[in-house]
Amino acid sequence: MSLLTELSVLVGSAFAAVGVDASLGSVVVSQRPDLAQFQCNGAMAGAKQLGKPPRDLADEVAKRVESDPRIRAVEVAGPGFLNIHVTDELLAQWMTSTAGDEHLGLYQSNDPMMVIVDYGGPNVAKDLHVGHLRPHVIGESLKRVYRAAGHDAKGDIHLGDFGLPMGQLIAAIAESHPDLPYFDEAATGPFPKESPVTVEDLQVLYPEASGRSKAEPEFQAKAQQATVELQAGRAGYVALWEHFRSVTLESLRAIYARLGVNFDLWLGEASTGDRLEPLVELLQERGVAVESEGAIVIHVTTDEDKKALPPLMLRNSRGGSTYATTDLATIQERVEEFHARAIVYIVDLRQSLHFEQVFRAARLGGIADDSVQLIHAGNGTVNGPDGKPFKTRDGGLPRLSGLLDETVALARTRLDENELALELPDDERDEVIRLVGMAALKYGELSNHRTTNYSFDIERFTQLQGKTGPYLQYVAVRAQSILNRAAEQGLEPGTFLPPSNDKERTLILSLLAWPEVVERTLETLSPNVIAEYTYELATAFNQFYDACHIMREADAAVQASWLGLVSVSRLVLVRALDLLTIEVPDRM
């Protein structure tokens, strides 16, 4: 339970007592903290139910609520808003229970589900670019948020390792290095352990091959043929393709280690290989998949669609599977093997049509029934600081690894400018710089709503003041150093006393709002809700710290209570940042 729930129950029963729905008693944090701590707007709807003037109903409810010993005051404002203030004793009680709760007050689902979060989706042979930052960071964050709410969430990289690009690479290497053993049709292996190509080779080869595929029909035909044979399991092609995958994965793992992104499942499009045939057959048997001009498709459009959706292509006329086929088979795998009850895709919004088709096909085909939520939590794109699509000078997309380098270099400059982390040993200092750089990137990313396009402005993101990741890290580190200094003098956090000034109250109210912040993040699937909150909390903390001179306080009980507030503030801030995938250094 949270303070807000407790208040909603209280106000709800007052509504019920006067004869309207208890659900109208839902209490929220006040939008106008200068006027009230909490607010309830149910009287207007309740008055309609009763055919009564709203202010009269609000007055009646206010009287009932006010008689409760936990309530300091209730005022009726405007057309019938209830402005609620709670007693300082109640705030102290809630601080005590929050501090004693390992989840810091977060709701733990009483119906935990297996959630597969599908994010990142990098492709074999392609380098990560700035656009990949979004799905990786948002996905990693949402996975942690599900876990914080008591669900069992797994992150799956869903590697793009299956389609025509693989055939294009094979066809290109077959031309340039025909003597390699992989191209001997009769060869069954073993094949060389060493990869004939590096990831850098692939990154050059792939755009070339894909360009040729568009320009040269003959090359295109070879690439298509190689794709079909690869998918059918031709030994040499499979061996070569495994090299493509492993060199790509190796370079991905290196960048993920820097970024702090972890996957539980390293599956991909190709992991569904064995399911594709039987799936297509099953869907045909069920009458869902049908032949159309030599291909097999699923018609997903309904009468309700204003504009018809194109049919989903399950198998093209050359017998090949598509991106939609592997995604459908992946849903089947996630339901059958992992018993997923929710599958959440953090993928560019430009793929909305694809997911709509796949989800409809999954429902029609009985691959996932209504007990499985299928959610495309799409992300917007990243623009340059000028608000235009982010491009390098040669028109390409900036590489993610280069951006990480730049950010870390700038983080170093910022720490120097602010004379921070100067006394640390070199290796610890380097690690702090890396963490600050990552915090800059990630907070810059996550402080935007998932669906909006935002401007990548590394100058601003790396600032140590304002709404930035480094600033929030700094506040958390400072809270720790306050506790350390107190401990050196033998002072420890103690029992929470009722707050005695407004800065203290504001901080407590902010801390007690944390459970609803996580709830709202799960509703919107947008971590910007948490990002926003961390800044509010940090602001409330700083104002409290400026107003309440902890180390100079003469009353030991007050001092211990304040240290308790510092401690819980730090815990909540560190936890919130962790859900944003931001790590806080021990010192800086």
Cβ neighbours, 10 Å, residue 232: 12
Cβ neighbours, 10 Å, residue 41: 18
Q: Kindly tell me which residue out of 81, 182, 219, 345 binds ligand ARG, with binding defined by CB under 6 A.
A: 345
CA distance readout (Å), 114 to 117, 144, 158, 296, 336: 10, 13, 17, 32, 12
Cβ neighbours, 10 Å, residue 428: 15
Which residue, 118 or 504, has its beta carbon nearer to ligand ARG?
Answer: 118
Which residue, 62 or 358, has its beta carbon nearer to ligand ARG?
Answer: 358
Write the interaction track for ligand ARG spanning residues 238-277; mark x where CB under 6 A is met and - where it is not. Answer: ----------------------------------------
CA distance 353 to 366: 20
Q: Please, what is the minimum distance in Å from the beta carbon of residue 158 to ligand ARG?
A: 4
Decide if 21 contacts 508 (C-beta within 8 A).
no
Among 82, 99, 102, 83, smallest CA distance to 91 is for 99
Which residue, 158 or 414, has its beta carbon nearer to ligand ARG?
Answer: 158
Q: Please, what is the minimum distance in Å from the beta carbon of residue 62 to ligand ARG?
A: 52
Residue 482 tokens, joined = 């306050």
Q: Please, what is the minimum distance in Å from the beta carbon of residue 127 to ligand ARG?
A: 12
Using CB atoms within 10 A of its CB, is residue 259 exposed (0-12), middle (13-18) or buried (19+)?
A: buried
Q: Kindly tell me which residue out of 62, 90, 113, 118 binds ligand ARG, with binding defined by CB under 6 A.
A: 118
Considering the rule CB under 6 A, would residue 206 count as an interface residue with ligand ARG? Answer: no
Considering the rule CB under 6 A, would residue 327 count as an interface residue with ligand ARG? Answer: yes
Residue 65 tokens, joined = 């609520």
**The pairing of beta strand 454-455 with beta strand 382-383:** parallel
Which residue, 353 or 551, has its beta carbon nearer to ligand ARG?
Answer: 353
Considering the rule CB under 6 A, would residue 127 count as an interface residue with ligand ARG? Answer: no
Which residue, 271 or 510, has its beta carbon nearer to ligand ARG?
Answer: 271
Write the interaction track for ligand ARG spanning residues 2-31; mark x where CB under 6 A is met and - where it is not. Answer: ------------------------------
Q: Please, what is the minimum distance in Å from the beta carbon of residue 587 to ligand ARG?
A: 39
Q: Please, what is the minimum distance in Å from the beta carbon of residue 124 to ligand ARG?
A: 9
Q: Kindly determine how many residues on this chain lie close enough to bind ligand ARG according to the rule CB under 6 A.
A: 8
Which residue, 118 or 127, has its beta carbon nearer to ligand ARG?
Answer: 118
Q: Which helix (H) or strand (E) holds 572?
A: helix 556-579
Among 570, 564, 566, 569, smallest CA distance to 495 is for 564
* β-strand partners of 217: none
Q: Kindly tell me which residue out of 46, 54, 105, 121 binds ligand ARG, with binding defined by CB under 6 A.
A: 121
Which residue, 40 or 164, has its beta carbon nearer to ligand ARG?
Answer: 164
Which residue, 163 or 444, has its beta carbon nearer to ligand ARG?
Answer: 163
Write the interaction track for ligand ARG spanning residues 145-174; mark x where CB under 6 A is met and - where it is not. Answer: -------------x-x--------------
Helices 323-338 & 273-285 angle (0-180, nearest 10) = 90
Q: Which residue is nearest to ligand ARG (CB)?
A: 121
- Binding to ligand ARG (CB under 6 A): which residues in 363-422? none
Residue 155 tokens, joined = 């992150």
Q: Please, what is the minimum distance in Å from the beta carbon of residue 121 to ligand ARG?
A: 3
- In the β-sheet with 152-156, what is the strand arrangement from edge to edge? 152-156, 114-119, 342-346, 373-376
State whether residue 207 is helix, strand or coil: helix
Q: Which amino acid, 154? A: K
| Options 65-73, 116-124, 283-291, 299-307: segment touching ligand ARG (CB under 6 A) | 116-124
Which residue, 231 or 567, has its beta carbon nearer to ligand ARG?
Answer: 231
Q: Please, what is the minimum distance in Å from the beta carbon of residue 118 to ligand ARG?
A: 5
Q: Please, what is the minimum distance in Å from the beta carbon of residue 347 to ligand ARG?
A: 4
Considering the rule CB under 6 A, would residue 347 count as an interface residue with ligand ARG? Answer: yes
For 539-546, the CB contacts below 8 A with 24+ separation are 540/503, 540/506, 540/507, 540/510, 541/475, 541/479, 541/507, 541/510, 541/566, 541/569, 541/573, 542/475, 543/503, 543/506, 543/507, 544/503, 544/504, 544/506, 544/507, 544/569, 545/482, 546/503
Q: Please, what is the minimum distance in Å from the beta carbon of residue 132 to ligand ARG?
A: 9
Q: What sign for the dihedral angle of Cα 547, 549, 554, 558?
A: positive
Q: Please, what is the minimum distance in Å from the beta carbon of residue 143 to ligand ARG?
A: 14
Q: Please, what is the minimum distance in Å from the beta carbon of residue 112 to ligand ARG?
A: 23
Helices 556-579 & 469-488 angle (0-180, nearest 10) = 150
Q: Kindly tell me which residue out of 8, 41, 123, 468 binds ligand ARG, with binding defined by CB under 6 A.
A: 123
Virtual torsion, Cα 205, 210, 214, 215, nearest 10 deg: -10
Q: Please, what is the minimum distance in Å from the beta carbon of residue 131 to ligand ARG?
A: 9
| Options 115-123, 245-253, 364-372, 433-441: segment touching ligand ARG (CB under 6 A) | 115-123
DSSP string, 282-343: HHHHTT-EEEETTEEEE----TT-SSPPPPEEEE-TTS-B-HHHHHHHHHHHHHHHH--SEE
Which residue, 352 or 501, has its beta carbon nearer to ligand ARG?
Answer: 352
Considering the rule CB under 6 A, would residue 140 count as an interface residue with ligand ARG? Answer: no
Cβ neighbours, 10 Å, residue 108: 12
Q: Which amino acid, 308? A: A
State whether residue 270 is helix, strand or coil: helix
Q: Please, what is the minimum distance in Å from the beta carbon of residue 123 to ligand ARG?
A: 5
Which residue, 334 or 575, has its beta carbon nearer to ligand ARG?
Answer: 334
Q: Please, what is the minimum distance in Å from the beta carbon of residue 473 to ligand ARG?
A: 31
| Options 46-54, 97-105, 118-126, 272-280: segment touching ligand ARG (CB under 6 A) | 118-126
Which residue, 163 or 311, has its beta carbon nearer to ligand ARG?
Answer: 163
Among 536, 533, 515, 526, smallest CA distance to 445 is for 526
Q: Which helix (H) or strand (E) holds 156?
A: strand 152-156
Q: Please, what is the minimum distance in Å from the beta carbon of residue 362 to ligand ARG?
A: 12
Binding footprint of ligand ARG on the chain (CB under 6 A)? 118, 121, 123, 158, 160, 327, 345, 347
